[in-house]
Structure 1
């Protein structure tokens, strides 16, 4: 896409590593950029922002918590991009707000399961198989 930044939302349903295996970590990754130089969030990195302990898996799949509505998880993601020219990290005058499109992860999983390429594919959360 010309003149637009491209983003990807990574959700690790079995944790990203041994330390986060009981959690569902979520990371917003800046794939490429037109003018954006940095992502500012709780964690400031060159091209990503995330939460290693976004939500505990047990808490997420517990129906009494009502986080999975119709077996779907909705994540609202807001990000602010700032232009940090010449290494000036204190310049807030050029900040802009952007809207991140709604995740299409459930649609992508549906396409994956319908494809003959992934005939032996399943998603497991704890002891539950989707």
Structure 2
């Protein structure tokens, strides 16, 4: 029997905040769905290409370009990115820990640390 995985703490409740993610689809650079609200970023999205777009691409011999972009508001995107332990986002404790460890390593190697902006402009 597999071991039960420990769940992470949620950062928002969809029932209270509504859809915080969106999907945008374009065909040959023309938007066909612009920031269509979705519940979560893990989606299966189907793009139906019209016969006019397909025919236009064939006549102009430039191929058919379909692009699907999933995004969201800045706060929720940051939450998703922080699920990766290697992500060092701005103004977060993980970045501060990384910089502290880097400074310790530089001190151990006897490397001079360049002054920060606060130290040069009091």
TM-score by length of 2: 0.28
| Higher normalized contact order (CA 8 Å, seq sep 6+, divided by chain length) | 2
Greater percentage in helix:
2
TM-score by length of 1: 0.27
Greater percentage in strand:
1
